[in-house]
Amino acid sequence: MQDYTISLLRAYPKLNIFLKIHQKSGNLHPLTSRFFLALGDLYDEMAFVCFDDTQSYIHNILSSNSNIDEINKISQNKHKKFYLVGQFNCALESNLIYKAYVALQSYAKKEGKNTQSKQQSLVIIVNKKIPVGSGLGGGSANAAITLLVLNQICGFFYNSSILLQLAKELGSDVPFFLIVYSQGYDNISPFFQQQISINEYEYRKKIQNLVEEYNINSFFRQFHSADCLQLKNETKDNKNKLAFLSANVSGTGEIIEPFYEDIVHFRIHCNNIACDTREVYREFDKLQTNTQKSIGYRTCIDSREEEKMQSSRNEQYITKEINRLESKNVDSHTPISSQNIMTSNYDTIKEICLSLDSQDILEKYSIEELNDLYLPACNLYHGLQHIQTTLAKQYNKVFFSGSGSSFFSILSCARTNNESK
């Protein structure tokens, strides 16, 4: 009886320690940011399983559920099939996992890569737990992991420079996840991956249960319950083997410089607001245009006192408008016109020292100073400011990731823990 290998992985979110947006160049905004992979309780679970094409009953089981996407349109081998199992809120063609699969297959076809000897089909099962529109990069993490895993499973064995090239085409956050998950090498780091061997009977049973019940949580819980299947990243020894979890990111996300610092553990505060990244960037452009008209565009703030005064004015104005809007029962999840909050005097600091540790940066600057998209997002989704105020009362200082909507705060830091001993 044949044994099957299931590759289990956790797709962790990223946090923007700071995010500085520069003037638009063409259709894109160059950025400068510190990305940090947030190890913790929030992550997507992913499982990759190959199976022999001769076992038609596996195909029959998988194709019997309309919720499961069958992807074989662009496969080099028409007998191979790729099944994607998960609860996604987008069309298949927009799914970054699908796009990563297409990118690899298309590149292989262009290069004349021969993988016909691998007569196997593939099923990818995803338990999505990172919210969409949260600024945490869950879809980008899924894409990067898919590139790395399929590169090995499909027998392409492309080097990191080729994978990075493909990652850039998929999205601005994907290169960071690729670099961190591979730790700069061609393969995914063992820290993030656990490979499980099960016999054919058990495999068939698990797939059958998954299809019949369509309970993805239950599928992954089967592996959590067994002590021998503990993921490697749950042990202290493996944590010490990671070289870096953060990087300074610039350009349009394609320039990644690993940053070596102590691991910081964060609380991630999610909410039910889904921010539209394009709309937040459009609002950023509006505020910059209005600022240029009223006081002239400035690339830096001359005085720390002026920074504090500007931040205070912004916060007071937003709070005042939020109270007014809430008194009118405006839906906090619905974008609102920028004229309701702030249309002028929107200044941003353009330089933050890239050599500072993440914890030092977070301690030194305010939420408005750290993330240029925070106030534009508040303009569109007025519930964000109320959430930030509430969280700040409990956690003292909270921060904003990406274009939103998630906030985060510091839970602990290895450096702080060592200093307290």
Which residue numbers are catalytic? 14, 173
DSSP 22: P
Round to whole Å and give the CA distance between 48 and 150: 9
For residue 135, give both structure tokens.
Answer: 């600024």
Single-letter residue type at 5: T
Round to whole Å and give the CA distance between 270 and 406: 5
CA atoms within 13 A on the CB side of 71: 20
Peptide bond into 106 cis (omega under 30): no
What are phi and psi for residue 199, nearest 5 degrees? -80, 170
Q: In what order do the strands lie in the sheet with 193-199?
A: 69-71, 82-85, 120-127, 44-52, 3-11, 193-199
What are phi and psi for residue 289, nearest 5 degrees? -65, -45
Round to whole Å and give the CA distance between 361 and 410: 12
Nearest to 203 by CA among 47, 15, 365, 415: 47
Answer yes or no: are the C-beta atoms of 85 and 125 closer than 8 Å.
Answer: yes
Single-letter residue type at 73: K
Answer yes or no: are the C-beta atoms of 241 and 191 closer than 8 Å.
Answer: yes
Round to whole Å and give the CA distance between 53 and 290: 60
Answer yes or no: are the C-beta atoms of 320 and 382 closer than 8 Å.
Answer: no
